Amino acid sequence: MPLDLKELVTSRMGENYDLHHNYLNRTLVKVQRTIGFDKVYARAQGAYLYDMDGKDYLDFLSGYGVFAIGRNHPAAQKAIRDVLEMDLPNMVQMDSALLSGLLAEALVKRLAKQGAPHLNAVFLCNSGTESVEGALKFARCATGRPRIISLNNSYHGLSYGSLSATQNHAFHEGFGPFLPGIAHIDMGDLNALEYELKKGDVAALIMELVQGKGVKFAKDDFYQKAQALCRKYGTLLICDEVQTGLGRTGKWFAFEHWNLEPDIITLAKALSAGYVPSAAFITRRAIYQKIFSTLDRSVIHSTTFGRNNLACASGLAALTILEEENLIDNAARQGAELERRLLEVQKKFDFIKEVRVKGLMCAIEFQEPKSIMGKMGWKLIHSLDKSMFPQLIVTPMLAKHRILTQVAAHNCDIVKILPPLIIGQKEIDRFVTAFEDVISDLKKFPGPVWDLGQNFVKAMKSNDSKEELSATH
């Protein structure tokens, strides 16, 4: 019988979590069930997901930043349908296909418009971590140097090279040893950076300019000074723009906020238009040619699916939609409004430590409250589990208000949101009203929200494999 996908989806919708328990990551299923994230989303449009009863959920998670243009954008769908209808040849490999050429051209032209004409040679690949792997390889090969420096609290992906550059203990446990020659320094610590660079063997400094784990960024001129030091010692600067790139921070590229001139940037997530994995790293032609230096090295760095037509069509659609709908300006405008509204909320709640916003990348960090009862709740929950507190916000945001948000990282008190760049006043109102309501409930200790936290901890401890309750990417 031929596959009837529509019939299959309609008849089996609702079995989702059982299937994943049986055949995929059952630990993640247990987490989802415990924290009440076991919803069955049956449809999606723009900034909203819909369950089987048609109830709407506001998506302020955007698939960890994938859905910049919103979900199921008709223009992206059309581009993908067009590829299918044209019966184009795909992945011939030993040809130079049109769509990959057009996507590379569009990326280079966009970079030139944003003040980076030097980034003019593109390598197309399939995921964020793969773009980071490529960037690290190119940096080593082009400089002939072995070492890499990255920042503490960074996230660059989970394959071995990128995981070695990632400085986050939780992701390392059980997987060592890692790539040798990687040093981590604190954001802002120019002395530590120069100490490493002076050794003369550092190929690259890799940085997320706005760190995904907690939306942390330099508030002074650290990035510019770090770039100057890199130049002085012949080290390349890699900006990992997998999350920040393509409008997320209110500019096309995060490096524009600090007028940087990176030697390599990485892109992924939003380049997929929410459809087909699509990633790239882009560098100077001179660096590129050092890798592909002779004819027998023409495929020395290569990936089978890297230039496939559907990924390239998705990339072209994403770039066009972001521009046509002015989504970069919208991200900057809505981000400023969100920041203004959250700073008002902060004035009313002493346990909001800091609101950090760059475009539509936003984190709210909490601290121990001043009231005696508040302190008791805070201490109790932290003594049970160091990652639990933000879950007490993220869970009711979904259960009570049908808004998807996330815990920013392990062992921290940070809630993070990544809304699609298409949101307007209505979505910001709904989020801020719900957020204020949820954190008001935290003032009541003892109370149902704190009980919820204790129940989560019990559920977690009851599991032999002691998985983390927070899924953070």
Residues of this chain that interact with ligand PMP (CB under 6 A) are 64, 127-129, 132, 155-157, 208, 212, 240, 242-243, 268, 473
DSSP 259: T
CB 395 within 8 A of CB 455: no
* Least distance CB 164 / ligand PMP (angstroms): 13
Nearer to ligand PMP, 281 or 288 (CB): 281
Residue 268 C-beta: closest distance to ligand PMP, Å: 5
Instruction: Tell the smallest beta-carbon distance from residue 208 to ligand PMP (Å).
Output: 5
- For ligand PMP, the closer of residues 64 and 349 by Cβ is 64
Provide, rounded to whole angstroms, the least separation between the CB of residue 368 and ligand PMP.
29
Q: Which residues of 141-171 are buried (b: 16+ CB within 10 A; e: fewer)?
A: bbbebebbbbbebbbbbeeebbbbbbbbeeb
Phi, psi of 467 (to 5 degrees): -75, 160
The smaller minimum CB distance to ligand PMP, of residues 330 and 406, is found at 406
Tokens of 57: 């959920």
CB-nearer residue toward ligand PMP: 128 or 396: 128
CB closer to ligand PMP out of 185 and 438 = 185
What is the nearest approach in angstroms of ligand PMP to the Cβ of residue 132?
5
- Residue of this chain nearest to ligand PMP (CB atom): 128
In the chain, the N- to C-terminal Cα span, in Å, equals: 40
Least CB distance to ligand PMP at residue 381 (A)? 27
The residue among 382 and 473 lying less far from ligand PMP, judged by its C-beta, is: 473
- Cα separation, 196 vs 359, in Å, equals 32
Nearer to ligand PMP, 26 or 473 (CB): 473
Nearest distance from residue 243's CB to ligand PMP, in Å?
4
73 or 156: CB nearest ligand PMP? 156
270 touches 246 (CB < 8 A) = yes
Return d(Cα 57, Cα 69) in angstroms, integer: 17
> Among residues 132, 337, 138, 317, which one has the least CA distance to residue 250?
337
For ligand PMP, the closer of residues 276 and 438 by Cβ is: 276
Closest approach, Cβ 25 to ligand PMP, in A, equals 15
**To the nearest whole angstrom, how small is the minimum distance from the Cβ of residue 359 to ligand PMP?**
15
Nearest to 46 by CA among 422, 340, 335: 422
- Contact between residue 217 and residue 250 where contact means Cβ atoms under 8 Å apart: no
Minimum distance from CB of 375 to ligand PMP (Å)?
A: 34
Query: Helix, strand, or coil here: 456?
Result: helix
Give the separation between CA 378 and CA 246, rounded to whole angstroms.
38
Q: How far apart are CA 269 and CA 191, in angstroms?
A: 33
Q: Which of 25, 47, 46, 29 is nearest to 37 (CA)?
A: 29
Judged by beta carbon, residue 59 or residue 208, the one nearer ligand PMP is 208
What is the closest distance, in whole angstroms, from the C-beta atom of residue 357 to ligand PMP in the complex? Answer: 17
Residue 36 class from Cβ within 10 Å (0-12 exposed, 13-18 middle, 19+ buried)? middle
Question: What is the C-alpha separation between 164 and 6, in angstroms, rounded?
Answer: 42
Decide if 125 contacts 137 (C-beta within 8 A): no
Reduced to 3 states, what is the DSSP secondary structure of residue 415?
strand
Nearer to ligand PMP, 187 or 268 (CB): 268
Using CA atoms, how far residue 437 sits from 295, 306, 404, 444, in Å, is 63, 46, 15, 12
Residue 64 C-beta: closest distance to ligand PMP, Å: 5
The dihedral region occupied by 36, where left means phi > 0, alpha psi between -120 and 50, and beta the remainder, is left
Closest to ligand PMP by CB, 361 or 381: 361
Contacts of 393 (CB under 8 A, 6+ apart): 405, 415, 435, 438, 439, 442
